[in-house]
Amino acid sequence: MNILHTHAPELFMTNIPLFIQQLQEVEYIDLFLSSLKYFYPLNGTNLRNSETKDGDRTLHGDKIEDGVDSVSKVSVICDAILEELVVQYATTHSQCILTAHLSKIPPDIPSALLVIAKLKGSSAHVSNLTIDEDSNLVRSAIEHICFLADVNRLYDEALGLYRLDIALLIAQKSQKVPELKEKLILGSSRIFTFSTEFE
């Protein structure tokens, strides 16, 4: 998948709206995002180890922008695709938005969790969604991020954002999180609900 960007980086970046429009399918966009790698597939060279005598990194004779390494290029591509997805496909491609956040290097876990928080808060107000469909949407999103990222990190980040509801959903989806933590979160949620009722 890297070849799609590597072949003509500037052309690719300026045609991201067309790229997404042509792919259209959530699964294809997810495949592209999750396949982005540190290295360029034309020769398999890691850019951080490929330098000229002058210290300029090159790829087949083409200079790479100063200060931009293979790691940040992955994040730059994800950010550019995110920008288009959020503006044009926010309601239909939420899974791709999650994938883009978690495909960055390092993964942007807090942003992905905030997307899920927004799904929990806003999808209930969409008239064509039933309660069951709403909860299924959130559950699918939780399953997706648990597949893409380390569950323990997701759990810790959710707690760090004070989103006990999301942390509990993550705990329920993974056997890595001890059952005791589930009970602690559930107890904390009840205490929080009880305390807010008397404020």
Q: How far is the C-alpha of 23 from the C-alpha of 35, rounded, in Å?
A: 15
Whether 144 maps to a domain, the answer reads no
d(CA 87, CA 85): 5
Mean pLDDT of 99-106: 94
Indicate whether 28 belongs to any domain: yes
Q: Is a pLDDT exceeding 70 seen at residue 164? A: yes
Residue 165 to residue 81: CA distance in whole angstroms: 29
For range 143-162, the mean pLDDT: 92
Beta strands 45-46 and 58-59, pairing class: unpaired
Domain-embedded: residue 52 = yes
Asked if residue 106 lies in contact with residue 148, where contact means CB atoms within 8 angstroms, the answer is no
Closest CA relative to residue 40, chosen from 14, 26, 61, 25: 61
Q: Could you read off the pLDDT of 67-94 as tens digits, one per residue?
A: 445 557 889 999 999 999 999 999 899 9
Residue 179 within any structural domain of the chain: no
Instruction: Name the amino acid, one letter, at 109.
Output: I
Asked if the structure places residue 155 within a domain, the reply is: no
Domains held by the chain: number: 1
Question: Given a cut of 90, is residue 3 above it in pLDDT?
Answer: no
In a domain, 169, yes or no: no
How is residue 138 written in tokens? 């959130």
Is this structure's pTM higher than 0.75? no
Alpha carbon 179 to chain centroid, angstroms: 26
Q: Which one of 37-46, 86-95, 174-183 scores highest in mean pLDDT? A: 86-95
DSSP3 helix / strand / coil % (the chain, rounded to 5): 65, 5, 30
Specify the pLDDT at position 199: 54
Coil, strand or helix at 19? helix
| 46 falls within a domain | yes
Domain that holds residue 74: 3-106
66 or 102, greater pLDDT: 102
Query: Does 183 map to a domain?
Result: no
